[in-house]
Amino acid sequence: MTMAIKILVVDDDNYIRSFLQKRLTALGYEVHLAENGEHGLQVADAQRPHLIISDWMMPKMDGTEFCRHIKNHPDLKYAYFILLTARDSAEDKIEGMEQGADDFMTKPFNDKELVARVNVGLRITALQQELSKFQHQKAVTELAITVGHEINNPLGIIMLTLQVMKKKIGTPREAELPADIETMMANGHRLADIVKKLSSLEDPQFKPYLKNSDTHMLDLTGKP
């Protein structure tokens, strides 16, 4: 089952809210409404819209402040934000863009413009989501490569040492067991150090996993 595309309309003008709701619902979108920025934040937090159409001039919280809150929200920042305004100067648009607005529609707008801008916004949002998914998958892969590469050597030494120790028990070489234990402890400390580095990374650096490879792994050497 395909998830419905959600659009949030925020405007203190009841006529504009009603018009946009009818038109966007007719296009197959799930439309949610709010009459100002404060209410819009509540609805957005509950519904997680893919796209937001908001008026600029509203009571309590205007469109630019509302936009700034949306773009600073970790779960809402990728929502495409269209600002409705009667102000059409370049300076006004720069002000809106500085708060994070993705696009503008100047009042009065026509139906074709509305549909075109919404379609563009949703395409961009879909691409951002695909990119985010790819980046997540890539990060997981690189972390798995790092863990496998860094842990494989000391873990292999411990396992081999255990096999050798098992064969020495009850033989003249049993006197060598303390040295074998020291070898295992040293490699156990190596593993503990790797885990500590992985858990405390603040500014992770990457290096190629293989020469001339696009795949990377975390650099745990601690070198700049």
Q: Identify the domain containing residue 81 by its residue range.
A: 6-109
Residue 127 lies in a domain: no
Residue 58 token pair: 């509203």
Are 142 and 197 members of one domain? yes
* pTM: predicted TM-score of the whole model, two decimal places: 0.60
Any domain includes 211: yes
Q: Check whether residue 144 and residue 104 sit in a common domain.
A: no
CB 75 within 8 A of CB 47: no
pLDDT at 207: 59
| pLDDT confidence of residue 96 | 73
pLDDT at 160 (0 to 100): 82
Looking at residue 196, its pLDDT comes to 75
Average pLDDT, the chain: 80
Same domain, 93 and 26: yes
Q: Is residue 44 part of a domain?
A: yes
Residues 99-146: pLDDT tens digits?
Answer: 778 888 888 888 888 888 898 888 887 777 666 666 666 666 666 666
The answer to whether residue 124 sits within a structural domain is no
pLDDT in tens, 178-191: 988 998 898 888 88
What span, in angstroms and rounded, lies between the C-alpha atoms of 114 and 117? 5
Does residue 3 carry a pLDDT above 80?
Answer: no
What pLDDT is attached to residue 220?
58
Task: Summarize pLDDT for 31-79 with one digit per residue, the tens.
Answer: 999 999 999 999 999 999 999 999 998 988 888 899 999 988 888 888 8
pLDDT at 224 (0 to 100): 45
Pair 65, 36: CB distance under 8 Å: no
